[in-house]
Structure formats: structure tokens, C-alpha cells
Amino acid sequence: MIQFGTNPIAWANDDDQSIGADIATDRILHEAGRLIGFDGIENGHRWPDDGAAIKSLLGGYGLKFISGWYSTELLVRSVEEEIVAVQHHLAKLKANDCKVMIVCETSNAIHGDVAKPVNDRPTLSDAEMVAFCAKLEQFAAYLAGEGLTLVYHHHMGTIIESAEEIDALMANTGPHVHLLFDAGHCTFGGGNPVEVLKKHVGRVRHFHAKNIRPAITAKVRAEGWSFLQGVVGGAFTVPGDQEGGVDFDPLLGILADNGYDGWIVIEAEQDPNVRNPLLYQTLGLHTLKRIAKEKGLI
């Protein structure tokens, strides 16, 4: 059953917590759950650090806890060390009956550094990619034994950003590693989202409906902006925004044709003082539900 969710970074950013710092937590949850009508919301720095407390808080607004980002550091530590490190996060997800764990390697990522151009992100050699994927698969196998599917989040400013790197990740892992497909990050990273989703839809277990403003992402590349400068500058937006460059019609059609039954989450960080989260998230959800109905997803 398709469920629709959002991410609190539309209101209060995690990488730069000064963005949206003046927005009350109650406002975030009230708008997301009661006014807009999302089924669930992903993790954010405003939520409690205890799984039962998260469930109680979100439940009061009619929201489920979908899942949350987990930063692996498999390039610099062992699988055994990663398993020890993940226990607290794992317990939070289990307490909320989450089905997936969102994972991204961040030991050398630069997306949180406002001083580093996103163009200067780290990359792996072919041999390094194979070694990383082997460790990621081991870690994913452990999570599978705990009842959670690892969904890898390809992301700007990290080692898995381009379409070619997504291909390499998928080619060198499996069967336990699955994909969080993010339409915005795929496009921003130079990929064709329709082609990439078609190729890997069989392993997609989570979908981020992030849109981009091509005029802004082009400036990020051309002028050497950091990822966070791009966020504040308006690089990302929601489905349905006329300034957006991602067509979600064929993407949701691919999901429908392949029996996708997971979450569709609007993850679109913007400056809330410039672009009102209530208005933009409402537009995004309305757009997705309209297309999903047309495609037979709901």
C-alpha cells in the first residue's frame, strides 16, 4: 500500500540547523499531519532521541515515523564497528515498526560543509568501490536479520552521486542492499531519472520525490557553490512547482508498472522564510496524489 510522507527539512534543516530555527516543532507536525494530511514523516533533529517518545509525539499529530537517515563510516571502520555504532538508531526504527533504514556513507562527505564546493566531492576508484560495496552488503545482511531493509541514499557531495556511481553500487552489491531513489539528487548529479529508475526499479524500496530548479543547480555547478549554498539559493523544490525540472509523471508510472508499494516521500529542503513550507508541501502532495491516481498507484 502506497503511503505518502514528508521530511522535516522543509521546515527546519538538519545540515544547517540555523535554517528554520525559529519554526516551532509543533508547527512542523501540525502542518504536516493535520493541515496537509501526510501519512508519515522522516527523522529530524527536532524529534526525541528515544523510539517510544518519537512514536508518541508523532502519533499525536496522526503521523507515522517513516525512517531516518543513518550515516555509515564504512570507509574508515569495520563492519563489526558499524554494527556496534548503529544499535541506538536501529532501536528507534524498530520501536516504530519501520521497514527500511536510510543509509549514506558520510565519512568523507562534504554536503554539510558550507565552505566546500559540491563539485569537489570525494570519489572512489573502481577497486575502492568494490571494497566499499562488499562491506555495505555485509552490513545490509545484518540489518536484514534484524528485520530492516537497507536503502542506500545516493546524494550530492558524497561518493555515490552520479548515475554511473549508482550503477556501480547496484552492480557490486546485492541481494541485501536496496536503493532509495531520489529524483532530485539523481537529476542534480547529472543522471536521467527516468533511465536510472527504469534500470534499478526492481531494487528500489524507498522513493524521495525531490524536485530541482535547473537554473539554480546550474549556478551551483558553474559558480562553485557548496551544497548548503544551493539549498539556501533554492536548488530544491517540490513536485508540481512550475520552476521544477523533474517530471514525476513517468517516474510514478514506472513505480506503478513494477508494483512498488513503499513510501513516496517529499524530501525538499528550502529556506522556509522564502518559500512557505505549508504551501509548497501542500502543492507537492496534491501533485503526487493526482499522478499516483492516474497511474493506478492508489
Q: What is the mean pLDDT of residues 157-186?
A: 98
- CB atoms near residue 128 (< 10 Å): 13
Cell 547529472, residue?
A: 190
Whole-model pTM over 0.75: yes
pLDDT at residue 298 in the model:
95
Percent of all residues in the chain with a pLDDT value above 90, rounded to a whole number: 100
> CA–CA separation, 64 vs 62, rounded Å?
7
Does residue 298 contact residue 2 with C-beta atoms inside 8 Å?
Answer: yes
pLDDT at residue 150 in the model:
98
Percent of all residues in the chain with a pLDDT value above 70, rounded to a whole number: 100
Domains of the chain and any CATH numbers:
3-295 (3.20.20.150)
Give strand pairing partners of 3: 263
Helix 248-257 × helix 193-200 angle, to 10°: 10
Per-residue pLDDT band for 155 (boundaries 50, 70, 90) equals very high
Q: What is the pLDDT of residues 15-33, one digit of tens each?
A: 999 999 999 999 999 999 9
Report the mean per-residue pLDDT for the chain. 98
Does residue 27 contact residue 277 with C-beta atoms inside 8 Å?
Answer: no
> CA–CA separation, 258 vs 124, rounded Å?
31
Collapsing DSSP states into helix, strand and coil, what is residue 150?
strand
Q: What is the pLDDT of residues 69-128, one digit of tens each?
A: 999 999 999 999 999 999 999 999 999 999 999 999 999 999 999 999 999 999 999 999
pLDDT at residue 90 in the model:
98
For 104, the enclosing helix (H) or strand (E) is strand 100-105
Contacts of 172 (CB under 8 A, 6+ apart): 129, 130, 133, 134
> CA–CA separation, 4 vs 13, rounded Å?
20
Q: What is the pLDDT of residues 245-268, one digit of tens each?
A: 999 999 999 999 999 999 999 999
For 204, the enclosing helix (H) or strand (E) is strand 204-208
> CA–CA separation, 99 vs 230, rounded Å?
31
Q: What is the mean pLDDT of residues 277-284?
A: 98
pLDDT at residue 7 in the model:
98
Does residue 66 contact residue 265 with C-beta atoms inside 8 Å?
Answer: yes
pLDDT at residue 236 in the model:
98
Task: Quote the DSSP letter at residue 226.
Answer: B
Per-residue pLDDT band for 66 (boundaries 50, 70, 90) equals very high
pLDDT at residue 1 in the model:
87
β-strand pairing of 236-237 with 263-266? unpaired
